[in-house]
């Protein structure tokens, strides 16, 4: 039986490489597992609501894309069965 895990991640951006003038990708580190639900639809409804609240609470923090971003922004994600310690699980490659 599949369960859907809602987890808080601290988000950031990481430098991918020098190709095409340099590229970046989104990353996240697991902060805590929040809830588990049996319904995928319900899990996404709860995650959207939580992320709207987080956006409101973090409105004075710098955007992740800002050069002077210094961590502190969070988001809730939905995962199947287990929340990974970080995402992406493998570093993306430029193609």
Determine the 3-state secondary structure of 49 from DSSP. Answer: helix
* Tokens representing residue 6 in the block: 């809602």
Q: Which residue has the higher pLDDT, 53 or 14?
A: 53
Q: Where are the alpha helices (DSSP H) in 28-71?
A: 40-57
Q: What is the mean pLDDT of residues 53-73?
A: 88
66, pLDDT greater than 90:
no
1, pLDDT greater than 90:
no
State the pLDDT at residue 71.
84
Q: What is the mean pLDDT of residues 44-73?
A: 91
Average pLDDT, the chain: 92
State the pLDDT at residue 5.
97
Instruction: Provide CB contacts within 8 A for 79, sequence distance 6+.
Output: 4, 5, 7
Longest alpha-carbon distance in the chain = 46
> Tokens 């639900």 sit at which residue?
37
**Gap between the Cα atoms of 41 and 78, Å rounded:** 10
> pLDDT, tens digit, for every residue of 13-40?
988 999 988 898 999 999 999 999 999 9
Q: How many other CB atoms are found less than 10 A from the CB of residue 71?
A: 12
């Amino acid at each position: 039986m599949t369960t859907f895990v809602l987890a808080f991640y601290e988000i950031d951006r990481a430098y991918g490489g020098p190709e095409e003038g340099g590229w970046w990708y989104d990353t996240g580190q697991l902060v805590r597992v929040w809830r588990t639900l049996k319904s995928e639809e319900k899990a996404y409804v709860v995650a959207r609501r939580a992320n709207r609240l987080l956006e409101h609470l973090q409105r004075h923090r710098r955007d992740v894309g800002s050069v002077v971003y210094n961590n502190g922004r969070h988001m809730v994600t939905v995962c199947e069965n287990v929340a990974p310690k970080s995402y992406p699980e493998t570093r993306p490659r430029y193609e």
